Structure 1
Amino acid sequence: MTTIDQVTWLDVPVHGPFDLTASARFLEGFAPAARADAASRPGELRLAFPVAPSWRPVGVLVRQPFPNGPVRIAVRGEPSDVDKAVAAARRILSLDVDGTGFAAVAARDPVVGELLARYPGLRPVAFHSPYEAACFAVIAHRIRMTQAATIKRKLAIELGSTVDVHGVELPSFPSPAVLRAQPRVPMVSETKSDRLKAIAEAAEAGRLDAEELRSVPVAEALARLRTLPGIGDFSAELVLLRGAAHPDGFPEAETRLHEEMRRVYPVGTRAELREVADDWRPFRTWVSLLLRVQREERG
């Protein structure tokens, strides 16, 4: 277990509706996360992950006593990692985006209005980093998502660090250096092992930096990601929208989203889907997430 004595509490600004309990509930049911231990009670969420650029493990406790109220974050980690850990936690919970304009999207689109009423305060919850998202994408190739989530969690337990996050021990995914140093990454094929180590090398080189990926046009970011071994169209969107937590991208390769859109909108073609999504700007990722949640609830 990694023992880190330094704990820093910080107040985090929230702009627009946000419900941490809804985020934690989503995280518990989100197969890539598969983390029933992350939330111990309403208004509380625990996270453990390697934070860039040091890639040392940190533990993060997030608290929000009531929906739309103030948020406090406690970081257990090295002092030099605190700011990066807070930035990562804000990105993971989509708190780094001003959500006050989301209501305007709902006002001009009745479908979005219904979604906001059905899921008040729910914002996208991202992977801990684009690095972890890319690793999950490689692991999940040609196997079930739940199976991939199990493998990812076992890798965290076997190769990563265990961090005490306010009395709860959580496994942190292995750092890029640890993953890259493996003769062969356990529990995956040789091909996937080679790809995972290439992803780790790219992360160490800064090619999976969340801020950088979000600073360039979506098409350019996706093109960069597709140059990584094992990262195709669907995976590139996963890394950008769910890893870097880009708030305004339309998942072109996510067929289940498109099925739900065709159910609730009078559209059929890919061009019509894009036209509908254009009206969600600058929150296309957010609306897409709510539609996917709605579809999964319907079964």
Structure 2
Amino acid sequence: MTSMLHRPAELRPDGPFDLAASARFLEAFTPAGRMDAAAAPGTLRFAFPIEGSWQHAGALIRQRAPGDIEISVAAEEENVEATVRQVRRTLSLDVDGGGFPAIGARDPVVGQLQARYPGLRPVLFYSPYEAACWTIVTNRIRTTQAARIKQRIAELYGEIVELDGHRLTSFAAPAALQEIEGPIGLPEVKIERLRAVARAAQAGLLDAQPLRALEPDDALRLLQRLPGIGPFSAQLILVRGAGEPDVFPDKDVRLHEEMRELYAVPEAGVDDLAVIAERWRPYRSWVGLLFRIHHEARLA
């Protein structure tokens, strides 16, 4: 169990950011079922395996004022810096968002979404590894069922992190995931694919920084070499796992539906929508998330 709290680190976001908006997003984000729902307003608690070392850590994130983010870390001393980096990426604070408002100024549709969801940046899976595990688990089953199975895996093969008086369950590290066995509600083919993802993570093939250093098309081709990872899953891992800020998700049907609705282009094909999305550079992933959130809210 990890419980040692270190002196808080301070972050200064570049551009608009609201931690409360991140918390509201996570409340409706099914894969985030392990988030501590009892966290106070303006506060989040995270627990996760640290990319690379795969030791477990926790983080308490508070927003004291606009532009003032504080992170307290529960981890071994040598893992504190890596934990802070991972939290920064998870909250998309590792990207300069100073130019994001200008996208809405140029594009009124985007501007309306930014006004509806002020300060919201993409909240990611803790790592491409965990995103890849989610895509394997959720394939061809309901997301609520997949979330329960993912939570079960965390409880059986993960680790408890004690943070600020709360016990959080961190997802299974790759070495532990390779020991996974039934019955956990998954067929053997999915279990073997999870083991393959774990082996890839241990080999460094799912590290966020190298994936983002590649051209997106090259990264997507690399990810699709993993068993069970198709084009849609590869985009999810790159965008929502590694945090690549500028990819147009051309496999995301719900995003496309919302674009057709809000831009009033009911007959537009994916290539037409990709042309529209060129206006969103260099934040196409960020804007795409706003469309997805609005789509889900509209259909709720």
TM-score by length of 2: 0.96
1:208 maps to what in 2? 206
Amino acid at match of 2:287: V
Rate the CA distance shift 1:58–1:185 in 2: closer, same or farther, 3 A: farther
2:216 to 212, 215, 218: 218
SS in 2 for 1:126: coil
2:270 maps to what in 1? 270
1:151 aligns with 2:149: yes
Rate the CA distance shift 1:39–1:208 in 2: closer, same or farther, 3 A: farther
What is the root-mean-square deviation of aligned Cα atoms in Å? Answer: 1.3
The 5 A counterparts of 1:1-299 are 2-35=1-34, 37-38=36-37, 40-66=39-65, 68-184=66-182, 186-267=184-265, 268-299=268-299
User: Number of matched residues?
Assistant: 297
Q: Matched residues, percent identical?
A: 51
Q: Is the 8 A contact 1:39 1:45 kept in 2?
A: no
SS in 1 for 2:70: strand
Rate the CA distance shift 1:36–1:215 in 2: closer, same or farther, 3 A: closer
Q: CA–CA distance in 2 between the matches of 1:233 and 1:149?
A: 22
Q: CA–CA distance in 2 between the matches of 1:215 and 1:46?
A: 29
The offset of 1:39, in angstroms, is 5.3
Rate the CA distance shift 1:38–1:7 in 2: closer, same or farther, 3 A: farther
In structure 1, list runs of 5 or more residues that go unmatched: none
The offset of 1:103, in angstroms, is 1.2
SS in 2 for 1:279: helix
Q: Is the 8 A contact 1:138 1:192 kept in 2?
A: yes
TM-score by length of 1: 0.96
Amino acid at match of 2:143: M
Q: For residues 132-182 of structure 1, what are the alpha-carbon distances to aligned partners after superposition, in whole Å with 9 as ceiling and x for unaligned?
A: 000000001110111111111111112110111111111000100001123
The offset of 1:35, in angstroms, is 4.0
The offset of 1:99, in angstroms, is 0.6
The offset of 1:185, in angstroms, is 7.3
Q: CA–CA distance in 1 between the matches of 2:183 and 2:99?
A: 44
The offset of 1:5, in angstroms, is 2.2
